[in-house]
Amino acid sequence: MKRIEVKLALPVVAPLLDVIKGMADSLRRNLAAPLGLTDLDNEFSSAWADELVAAQNEDVQTLLALFNDEFFADGVIAFDEDNAEQIVRATAAVRLRLREYYLKPLGDETLESGNVELEQLDEPLRKAFMCYLFLATIQELIIQHLDSSILES
């Protein structure tokens, strides 16, 4: 089984974990990408949305579980075929929520290019942007280094 281990700098990552946890709380009852199923039966769409929210919460908990006591002891997180798909989905959900709540002022083009003057951003926006980049890096690591078949469902 392929496995990626990444050593992270605790002083850099710890503040970003607060941002991730805040976004996880806001995702607890709401989908990162709302459904928009207005033509479907209300009972059906509600049940479907509930299932999707439950799956999203499980994915986000898998992401948060990477940052356990072992992480705080040695600074290492690991991805493998067992958790990669959930981690990619969770990072996508958190990044979507960051865009919606904090990063709208930067605009999509700026976010995708990464051309941002960090010194000019206020503290909450700077932390949100750094978290957005951190999660993008996790996604890229998984996609580049683990077998792509694990990402196909």
Say how far apart CA 87 and CA 130 lie, in whole Å: 18
Q: Where do the structural domains in the chain lie, given as residue ranges?
A: 3-151
The alpha carbon dihedral of 116, 117, 122, 127 has a sign of positive
113/7 Cα distance (integer angstroms): 25
pLDDT digits (tens, 9 = 90+) for 63-90: 999 999 999 999 999 999 899 999 999 9
Q: Give 10-52 pLDDT, tens digit per residue.
A: 999 999 999 999 999 999 999 998 766 665 667 877 888 889 9
| Contact status, residue 4 vs residue 140, Cβ threshold 8 Å | no
> What is the distance between the alpha carbons of residues 121 and 125, in angstroms, rounded to a whole number?
6
pTM of the model: 0.88
Q: Report how far residue 103's alpha carbon sits from residue 99's, in angstroms, rounded to the nearest whole number.
A: 5
| 64-68 long-range Cβ contacts below 8 angstroms, 24+ apart | 64/20, 64/21, 64/24, 67/13, 67/17
DSSP state for residue 115 in the 8-state scheme = -
Say whether pLDDT at 146 is over 70.
yes
